[in-house]
Amino acid sequence: MSLLDVENLTLQFRTDEGIITAVDNVSFSLEPGEVMGLVGESGSGKSVTAKSLMKLNPGNAIYSDDTKITLHLDSGPVDVMALRNAREMEVVRGGAVSMIFQEPMASFAPAISIGRQMVEQLLVHSDMNKKQAKDLSIEMLDRVGISDASTRFDQYAFELSGGMRQRAMIAMALSTKPKLLIADEPTTALDVTIQAQVIDLMKDLVTEFNMGIIFITHDLGVVAQTADKVAVMYLGRMVEQGPVREVIRHPHHPYTQGLIAALPKLDDLEAPLVPVPGDIPSPLERPPGCVFHTRCSKIIGDVCKTDVPQWVQTAENHRAACHLCEEGSGA
């Protein structure tokens, strides 16, 4: 049975300038122990999608009526949309679902020691006493490769280096033994050498804890190294979904193809860098039809400008939303 089912997630924000559609009809599911890479550029709605799973979006967010997010736990299914108050939401906020943010310095409270913050959340989400919570926190810090964990426990976020802080963040997120971990650009602020360490660590932990991970990133290299499957988002819509090998080797959507072409590659230094032309449009001026048609180099005619493309199955579990795609064949 799947761990998470998201169906028809549509989310709008009420703002002074009007209603902004941030996520448009997104559906996906995740198995336990599976890592899904969620890829797209800034403004594509990937963070907002992830935050919806914890109902972390601000008060001006409007979810559509047919939005359905179901989390299948041992204790039975949880309908995330039906959670109303903070007490009910504890289960998805740090309980069965944990989140790692991009900037660990901004995510830890600066004036409270790392240890106290770790203990605090354990006291909320489990029936441990302070002593047990402290022991577990130190054990987790040790587990993520922080040396001298009992000293680090009493230190503050500013006393740790960037890589160390992100490790502490991971230790904190995992100490409640979540079933689903959402990692929002967890390695973007880190140096490559430290990024490699953190990726390794996360891979080890998936196997050990058998949890599902949603890994948000704009770096397809990181996805290739971590994910089992990939979902590509553009301007609030999911445009391609499939197993990681399929999507990276045989991308069908022109946007995915563009993202791969834009990456500097080390095996051919002379190859020119091909940007995806133009900029992502403002969410206030969402193009009609296929949202990508304003930047697409493979536009096939008016149909792209008027009709929203439907999902086309191109291989097993691999699908793309593009008018170019036809069943079973590549674009």
Residue numbers at the binding site for another protein (CB under 8 A)? 41-43, 161-164, 191-197, 199-200, 203, 218-222, 224-225, 244-245, 248, 258-260, 262-266, 269, 271-277, 279-280
DSSP helix/strand/coil, 141? helix
Of 47, 35, 51, 64, nearest in space to 92 by CA: 51
Quote the least distance from Cβ 296 to another protein, whole Å: 12
Quote the least distance from Cβ 134 to another protein, whole Å: 26
Looking at the Cβ atoms of 24 and 246, the one nearer to another protein is 246
Q: Residue ranges of the alpha helices (H) in the chain?
A: 46-52, 86-89, 104-107, 114-125, 130-143, 149-153, 162-174, 192-209, 220-226, 244-249, 254-262, 302-306
Report CA-CA distances (Å) from 74 to 7, 89, 134, 179, 198: 21, 17, 26, 10, 29
Looking at the Cβ atoms of 29 and 197, the one nearer to another protein is 197
Looking at the Cβ atoms of 130 and 249, the one nearer to another protein is 249
Give strand pairing partners of 9. Answer: 26
Looking at the Cβ atoms of 28 and 255, the one nearer to another protein is 255
Please answer whether residues 217 and 198 qualify as being in contact, where contact means their C-beta atoms are separated by less than 8 angstroms: no
Quote the least distance from Cβ 125 to another protein, whole Å: 31
Quote the least distance from Cβ 241 to another protein, whole Å: 16
167/171 Cα distance (integer angstroms): 6
Q: What are phi and psi of 237, to 5 degrees?
A: -115, 145
Looking at the Cβ atoms of 72 and 203, the one nearer to another protein is 203
Quote the least distance from Cβ 45 to another protein, whole Å: 14
